[in-house]
Chains A and B, each alone.
Chain A
Amino acid sequence: MAEPPPVPLPHPSGPLAGYRVLDFADEKGQLCARLLAELGADVIKVEPPREGDSTRQRGPFYRGEAGAESSLYWWTMNAGKRSITCQLRLQAGRDLVHRLVAQADMVVETNAPGRAADLGLDYATLREVNPSLVAVSITSFGLTGPYKDWQATDVVGVAMGGHMYLNGDEDHGPVRTLAPQAYAQVNVQAAVGATTALYARGVNGGLGQQVDVSMQEAVANAMDNAQATWDISRTNLSGPGLRRNTYGTVVLKYLYEARDGWVAALNGGPIQGPNGQPLIDWMAETGEAAPIDQPAWREKLLSQAPLDAEEMAVVEGVIEAFCRTRGKVALVEEAQRRGGGWAPVFSPREIVEARHLKERDYWIWVRHEEMGESFLYPGAPWKLSATPWMQRGRAPHLGEHNEDIYSGMLGIDEAELRRLRMRMVI
């Protein structure tokens, strides 16, 4: 039988190869650290002994069975990292971690300000241990301000950050995206801060700094033009249902039901303006464009003059009837051929099955050798020509790299390791 692949797979050709990151993060920072691992950094996840990181208990689970090694959340967010256990509530644990901090380039942590100090992860302490360290401190509401000690999960982040207000409709109120977007936003924006601070260190004689990242602010950074619209026109945008937020004026629907689902066609195609004429021609070919293929209608749509409610209903009715009898991918491919920027509404399954992604070799089989199975994971979020992205295998088991790291990096001998284990330090 072939040797199982090492966990994680080595990635010496990544642009961040050579950097070492200690990851103490929960949902607010694990994806940030994973992206750094995929760029080549050596990312070490530090977990509490025995129970492990709290996200190991976060569903969904492999075959629905909860367990420390079966969380798909853990698999997704921690692939490509190493794992050690360390009890930061004990002085001996904090001492061990500080010895690692002395050899690291970056710490990613997500503790509230006071709690970080209790665990020896506050910036004042970290800086003393390693002045070159980049300390990425991710919190729900930032390190300062009146909400700094408030509790937040994803839905609180999207609510307080403003994103949820922009979703939903008048009848039902605001709605959240099931895939947690406050977590997604804070992770990717923290990673921009992290890489920027690494770069800054390089041009400032090796001086580290703290990066203060707030989940609320990350969400507020992702509100399209809602703030500008308020600043300039005092219009407070809110959830528009099947339409979109447009500075207070109602425009044509952008979602239409197809035979097998839905398509997104911004501004009804766009059916107004010069790009709309080929779309009208398309519907006219099968006699389905009436009445908007009549000269007066065509002229009105070409001119982009505003439509009243009755006219909008006519135009939307034509597009709705046309879409309803056709498959969504065929609709999108033909609309795109005719200059309409359409896209299908895809479910996760349809994304995995999409031809375009297959032909770009997007998906990656990741070996879970202990289970004798491989699973499909999302692939490169970017293709770097000189320093390629790399999926580095499955997420680590709890404490899988204790010996590698405590012996290899810190030179701790076997007897001492045993003592640390018995005292539940590691």
Chain B
Amino acid sequence: MSATLKKPFEGLRVADFAWVGVGPTVSKYLADHGAEVIRIETNTYPEAVRRAPPFLDGLPGVDRSGYFANFNSSKLGISLNLKHPRGPELARRLVAGCDVVTESFTPGTMARFGLDYESLKAIRSDIVMIAMPLFGQTGPWASFAGYGHVLQAAAGFNHLTGWADGPPIGTGIAYTDFLVPHIAAIALIAALDFRRRTGIGQFIDFGQWEAAIHGLGTAVLDYTVNGTEQTRMGNRDPEAAPHGCYRCKDGRYVVIACETEKQWEALKAALGRPEWCDLERMRRRHQRLQEQKEIDRHLQFWLEDMTLDPRRPEPTADDGPESPQVKRFTTDEVVAHLQSFGVPAGVVQ
């Protein structure tokens, strides 16, 4: 039976004018589920991620970037110079046979080539078009450009990532490039489902910043309702204790989080009920939130004591059962032990 099922977007054709990370990730969702996605690029200026490493065999080349490959598998590619006098006309002929247009230029760029929504709608009345610049189509910052590394700063992710007394180091990656495409895809697929049922197309003004703000959890309402400005606090959490990241003897890190009393009881059992965790001031979550420094010290000590030090020699037949290298475990084994008691724990990997 499954052999006769269609891939959902089979039969849809997409003209993908988008570049770098966000736009190509959105159209890849369609491509991976059956749509014919045509990346339209110019030969005169290869896009940024084609020029970005990692390159196959370490040799730069526009067709050698693993970065580009990750965003653009499952697609077709054509080259078309929109700045050539005949470029826009060819693009419009292509769009006439398409169902979807995606783009991520700064606002006004597509209009300069006669490829704005109104013009394309005249050629293809039921077209669904999504435009995905950083800051949307209107407003004082509409023309601002940049990559996900800096948009994560505007969207609050830097402010919320780092140590309490340290700088807003952010996520180390172009984070919003890996958050907002999913949000854009939801809107695009919903619009396509509406079109499937009604035949009506539309334009989607997608501002990456406005979407990213929905990834901030309670940080917005905590300010607009309570006037509280959430800020980075390392690996602690204002609602849970213990909540931290601990270094093991092999240099790897383990996270442990107890959001509920049940999880805390599980941790106590997994640790073998040492005296400190049965102290009265460790009993309830709101109490433990005041004792995090001490809790962290105990957990750090426990993890170091439990885990194997790879720099020490392998145990020999002469080592008794209490020898450090015999009674200790790998970091993965320690996490599996915690999980077997029902403690939310994991290796940072």
Contact = CB atoms under 8 A, between A and B. Distances in A.
Nearest to B192: A199
B187 A382 contact: yes
Interface in A39-90: 39, 58-60, 62-64, 72-73, 75-76
Contacts of B179: 181, 184-185, 188, 222
Contact of B172 (A59, A244, A375, A385): A244
Given A168-B172, A382-B211, A203 B259 contact: no
Contacts of B196: 199, 202-203
B349 interface: yes
B170 interface: yes
B67 A179 contact: no
A62 B225 CA distance: 7
B263 A151 contact: yes
B224 interface: yes
Given A173-B253, A178-B231, A266-B150, A345 B159 contact: yes
Given A192-B182, A204-B5, A224-B178, A155 B172 contact: no
Contacts of A376: 220, 224
Interface residues on A, range: 35 or more
Contacts of B6: 200, 203-204
Interface string B185-213: 11101111110110011111111011101
Interface in B276-319: none
A377 B224 contact: yes
Contacts of A231: 54, 66
A229 interface: yes
A341 B221 contact: no
Interface in B55-100: 55-56, 58, 66-67, 69-70
Main secondary structure of the interface of A (DSSP, over half): mixed
A163 B346 CA distance: 13
Scoring B158, B171, B216, B263 by chain A CB atoms within 10 A of each residue's CB, the highest score goes to B171
B213 A226 contact: no
A226 B173 contact: yes
B139 interface: yes
A25 interface: no
Interface string B32-70: 010000000000000000001111101000000011011
B333 interface: no
Nearest to B239: A59
A375 B225 CA distance: 6
B217 A76 contact: yes
A39 B339 contact: no
A359 B136 CA distance: 12
A344 interface: yes
Interface string A318-356: 000000000000001000100001111111110110011
Contact of A150 (B29, B182, B185, B339): B339
Given A151-B344, A159-B349, A343-B146, A383 B204 contact: yes
Interface of A: 15-16, 31, 35, 39, 58-60, 62-64, 72-73, 75-76, 150-157, 159-160, 162-169, 172-181, 183-185, 188-189, 191-192, 195-200, 202-204, 207, 221-229, 231-233, 235, 237, 239-242, 244-247, 254-255, 257, 262-266, 332, 336, 341-349, 351-352, 355-357, 359-360, 362, 375-387, 389
Given A172-B163, A255-B167, 13 more contacts: A35-B214, A76-B221, A156-B344, A164-B255, A176-B255, A200-B8, A203-B196, A225-B54, A245-B173, A257-B167, A380-B210, A384-B202, A385-B202
25 contacts: A15-B190, A58-B239, A76-B220, A155-B344, A159-B255, A162-B349, A174-B253, A184-B214, A188-B182, A188-B183, A196-B189, A200-B33, A224-B173, A224-B177, A224-B178, A225-B67, A233-B54, A242-B169, A343-B153, A348-B219, A348-B220, A348-B229, A380-B210, A381-B183, A387-B194
Interface of B: 5-10, 29, 33, 52-56, 58, 66-67, 69-70, 117, 135-136, 138-147, 149-163, 166-175, 177-179, 182-187, 189-194, 196-197, 200-207, 209-211, 213-226, 228-235, 237-240, 243, 245, 247, 253-255, 257, 259, 263, 339, 342-349
